[in-house]
Structures are given as C-alpha cells and as structure tokens.
Amino acid sequence: MAFPLPPPMRLALDRAREAALDGEVPVGAVVTWGEEVVALAGNATRLGHDPTAHAEMVALRQAAQRLGSARLDECDLWVTLEPCAMCAGAIALARIRRLYFAAADPKGGAVIHGPRLFAQPTCHHAPDIYPGIGEEEAGDLLRGFFRERRA
C-alpha cells in the first residue's frame, strides 16, 4: 500500500519539476520550521551561473535569511535527491535537525553513499536521516530528464 507523500516532499518534487522546465537537473528542496515552510528551491546552477546553487544550498540560504540565523537547528530539510558532499557539509554547518530525502544517489551522494559525511569524525553535527520518501517519483523524474538529454 502506497502512502501519500508528506506535503513538504510534494512541494520539493514540484520545485524539481519546475527546475527541469528551466533545463536544470530536477532537484527540489524545502526547509520547514515546525509545520511552516520557510524556504522552497529548485536547482539553479545554470540559471544563476553558480555551481553552488544546488536546491539544498539555495533553500538553506533562504531559510537562514528568513529566520535571521545561520543556525537552523529547529528546521528540517526535505530534498528529492541524496545530498552531495557540498550540500551535506552545509546541512551540518546549519545544524539541520532532520534530513528527509527521496532518491539515493550512488554516484554523487554523500549521506548514505560516497564519503558518508555525517559519519566522519570531523563532522560536528549530523541530522536524523530519513531516506526513500518519494524515491520512486523522484527517481522517475531524474531518469526521464537524463533520458531526454541523451536522445
């Protein structure tokens, strides 16, 4: 039996679709503070000519500005793809409370794949991690995007 996706992950998937329409890799991110959405973002590396404008980075910046603090220790991050090393580092520095992600990324992920950043002794904060929420939908979106690029 399939369960409905939590609203923040639904919003992240919507942002991922919007990013794809702009030619960006379809990744979306949402930061919540309690039940309140405080940031929504999609990948924007091409549009912004910014290699650091991954959805997670953009959403973390928005949330920090909105809440007036670089510490987001009462916030949760919802993202459609396992964060890379850069994003995982930013998540740790922001002190995100919980990380929810949809699709795993065996090639570029740094949470449950690759360097497993939060398990490193040099990492001073690790969020609670909840993988696989909306995995099928996020994976289909990513596979479809890259299939179209290769055609």
At 7-52, the pLDDT tens digits run 999 999 999 999 999 999 999 999 999 999 999 999 999 999 999 9
Question: How many separate domains does the chain show?
Answer: 1
> What is the model's pLDDT at position 2?
63
CB 66 within 8 A of CB 38: yes
Cα(83)–Cα(16) distance, rounded to whole angstroms? 14
Q: pTM of this prediction? A: 0.96
Res 105: pLDDT: 98
The whole-angstrom separation of Cα 7 and Cα 145 is 23
In this prediction, residue 1 carries a pLDDT of: 52
Q: CATH number for the domain including 33?
A: 3.40.140.10
**Around Cβ 97, how many Cβ atoms within 10 Å?**
16
Catalytic residues: 56
Residue 3 above 60 pLDDT? yes
84 is in an annotated binding site: yes
The reply to whether 14 falls in a domain is: yes
Within a domain: 2: no
**From CA 128, how far away is CA 112, in angstroms rounded?**
12
- Find the domain containing 122 and state its range: 7-150
Instruction: Identify the DSSP state of 43.
Output: -
Within a domain: 1: no
75 is in an annotated binding site: no
pLDDT at site 151: 81
Q: Is the pLDDT of residue 135 over 90?
A: yes
